[in-house]
Amino acid sequence: MAAKTPDFIGNYPDPPDDKSVRVIPKDKRIPFVHGEAHKILVDYMVSTDRMHGGIFEIGPHSRGEETPPHKGDEFYYVLQGEGLLCVENERYYRMHEEEAGYLPAGYMHYWLNLSDTTLRVLFVIAPDL
């Protein structure tokens, strides 16, 4: 059975028909645990009908859940640590702090944390999960 989509997806900080310029304070991020076998913490900062963004964290020497292909392109920026972006279980991209990455829509993927510290990655998915 597929997991229910959380109510905030596509509606934070405002519903699609009531958008306005916003600053999202740190204490207004929406923490969300993603995954079943390999849980990671995701702090959503924005989730509208046109984009989704936040920061995810993966513990030292751990991995994230395999993610089915998103409908939108993805942007990543490594804030802390060193990770491996694994695409379609056949291509692997090592990313270090302050490096950015782009993943076109339509690819299954997951992350591995290769470092002794928490891997923290800023992500943006547009236009849709």
Confidence of residue 1 (pLDDT cuts 50, 70, 90): very low
3-state secondary structure 13-29: CCCCCCCCCCCCCHHHC
Distance CA(50)–CA(80), nearest Å, equals 27
Q: Per residue in 73-124, pLDDT tens?
A: 999 999 999 999 999 999 999 999 999 999 999 999 999 999 999 999 999 9
pLDDT at 2 over 60: no
DSSP string computed for 44-88: EEEE-SS-EEEEEEE-TT-BPPPBPPPSSEEEEEEEESEEEEEET
In degrees and rounded to multiples of 5, residue 27 shows phi and psi of -75, 0
Residue ranges covered by each domain of the chain? 29-111
- Confidence (pTM): 0.93
Per-residue pLDDT at 3: 64
Q: Per residue in 9-64, pLDDT tens?
A: 999 999 889 889 999 999 999 999 999 899 999 999 999 999 999 999 999 999 99
Select from 56, 52, 72 the least CA-distant residue to 12. 52
Q: Tokens for 36?
A: 């079943």
User: Which CATH superfamily hosts domain 29-111?
Assistant: Jelly Rolls (2.60.120.10)
Distance CA(28)–CA(24), nearest Å, equals 6
